[in-house]
């Protein structure tokens, strides 16, 4: 927790160093409200798209298709938790909520969330690469570093997806290894049960149709997210094209992967201001854009998550027990 606070403080300092807040406030006041609201709506829509993708990736223990309502509540509560709780608790909250509301094994839900993240990584890195190679940017050391990040990130995500697919394809091999290594029958059975739950959560990777569907939903999700950045450009009169939005989105995803405070303070602003600096956008205008986008797009899902906590029977006490 302390490390996250230190890193967030450092990133926020570098983001806002030399900023004149009177000018930032003036840029915010003069922003086009219609474009700003549209950007917020598009950013919030991405959570609905996550719901449709998750229905493909996660089925019940009996193979049934899970209902939209419980999965939506889990998504909303999870992302709300990421915004207000430390230590990236949102994924645990989302997993616990989905398992409880759908009566599905925790390990199965957890594995499906891991697969989601792999699809996210591959899609974001691919779109980042597209933005990098289509953007009208000078061939600088920074752009070379970004290209290197794209290559490493893409290779890591693809390797994870292949490894997950192997677990699905060869379940008996994992069971054989466990029984050979673990002499205690009871403990071995528990480990195998755990692996079976993970394998069930990865079962979508055994269906080409579900994999293709998840890939399409991932492109739709992250394309919509990038569009929200682009529309917010229009709200502030920033002349950056859609390639710049793809580039910004990708760097933000790498930024928020760092340890930080709840809500990714600093880790969210610095990539935005850095990318806009490549386009020679005034730092005060870039800071106004970054702070406005961060606050306005994080509020809706936080409020929706709070509503889901009240709406479901889980409540804050149950979520705390899930975190414990």
Beta bridge partners of 38: none
Q: How confident is the model at residue 47 (pLDDT cuts 50, 70, 90)?
A: very high
| 111-121 pLDDT tens trace | 888 888 888 88
- Which one is predicted more confidently, 108 or 320? 108
User: What separation, in Å, do the N-terminal and C-terminal C-alpha atoms of the chain show?
Assistant: 16
Q: What is the pLDDT of residue 174?
A: 58
Q: Which of 314, 115, 109 lies closest to 214, judged by CA?
A: 115
Q: For residue 263, what are the contacts with CB-CB under 8 A and spacing of at least 6? A: 82, 83, 84, 294, 298
pLDDT at 152 over 80: no
Q: What is the pLDDT of residue 254?
A: 80
Q: For residue 55, what are the contacts with CB-CB under 8 A and spacing of at least 6? A: 65, 66, 68, 71
Is residue 299 classed as helix, strand or coil in its secondary structure? helix
For 12, the token pair is: 């926020």
Q: How confident is the model at residue 289 (pLDDT cuts 50, 70, 90)?
A: very high
Mean pLDDT along residues 35-60 = 96
The phi-psi region of residue 280 (left if phi > 0; otherwise alpha if psi is between -120 and 50; otherwise beta) is left
Name the least confident of 42-56, 218-232, 238-252: 238-252
Q: How confident is the model at residue 308 (pLDDT cuts 50, 70, 90)?
A: very high
Report the C-alpha gap between 248 and 274 in whole angstroms.
9
Measured CA to CA in angstroms, residue 38 lies from 44, 59, 68, 233, 303 at distances of 10, 33, 25, 11, 18
Percent of the chain with pLDDT over 90: 42
pLDDT at 40 over 80: yes
Q: Which of 4, 100, 114 lies closest to 323, judged by CA?
A: 100
Mean pLDDT along residues 26-53 = 97
For 13, the token pair is: 């300092």
Name the least confident of 58-62, 151-155, 280-284: 151-155
pLDDT at 310 over 70: yes
| CA-based R_g, the chain, Å | 21
pLDDT at 129 over 90: no
Q: What is the pLDDT of residue 157?
A: 56
pLDDT at 170 over 80: no
Report the C-alpha gap between 177 and 95 in whole angstroms.
28
Percent of the chain with pLDDT over 70: 73
Backbone angles phi, psi at 59, to 5 degrees: -115, 160
Is residue 312 classed as helix, strand or coil in its secondary structure? coil
Q: Which of 23, 73, 90 lies closest to 264, judged by CA?
A: 90
Which range of 151-160, 219-228, 276-285, 306-315 scores highest in mean pLDDT? It is 219-228
Which range of 27-41, 130-144, 264-278 scores highest in mean pLDDT? It is 27-41
* Count of other CB atoms within 10 angstroms of residue 28: 18
Would the pTM of this model clear 0.85, i.e. be above it?
A: no
pLDDT at 164 over 90: no
């Amino acid at each position: 927790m302390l490390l996250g606070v230190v890193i967030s403080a450092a990133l926020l300092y570098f983001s806002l160093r030399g900023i004149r807040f009177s000018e930032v406030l003036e840029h915010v006041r003069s922003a086009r409200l219609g474009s700003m609201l549209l950007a917020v709506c598009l950013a919030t829509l991405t959570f609905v798209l996550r719901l449709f993708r998750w229905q493909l990736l996660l089925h019940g223990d009996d193979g049934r298709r899970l209902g939209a309502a419980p999965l939506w509540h889990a998504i909303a509560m999870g992302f709300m938790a990421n915004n207000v709780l430390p230590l990236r608790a949102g994924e645990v909250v989302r997993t616990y909520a989905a398992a409880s509301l759908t009566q599905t094994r925790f390990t199965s839900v957890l594995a499906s969330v891991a697969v989601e993240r792999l699809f996210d990584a591959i899609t974001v890195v691919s779109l980042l690469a597209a933005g990098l190679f289509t953007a009208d940017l000078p061939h600088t050391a920074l752009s070379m570093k970004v290209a290197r990040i794209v290559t490493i990130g893409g290779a890591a995500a693809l390797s994870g997806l292949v490894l997950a697919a192997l677990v699905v394809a060869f379940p008996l091999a994992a069971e054989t290894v466990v029984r050979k290594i673990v002499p205690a029958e009871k403990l071995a059975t528990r480990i195998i049960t755990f692996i079976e739950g993970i394998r069930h959560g990865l079962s979508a990777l055994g269906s080409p149709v579900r994999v293709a569907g998840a890939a399409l939903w991932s492109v739709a999700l992250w394309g919509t997210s990038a569009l929200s950045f682009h529309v917010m450009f229009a709200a502030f009169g920033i002349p950056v094209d859609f390639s710049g939005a793809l580039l910004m989105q990708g760097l933000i995803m790498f930024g928020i992967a760092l340890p930080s405070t709840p809500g990714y303070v600093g880790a969210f602003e610095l990539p935005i201001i850095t990318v806009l600096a490549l386009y020679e956008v005034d730092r005060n205008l870039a800071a106004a854009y970054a702070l406005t986008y961060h606050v306005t797009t994080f509020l809706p899902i936080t409020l929706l998550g709070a509503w889901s906590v009240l709406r479901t029977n889980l409540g804050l006490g149950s979520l705390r027990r899930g975190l414990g």
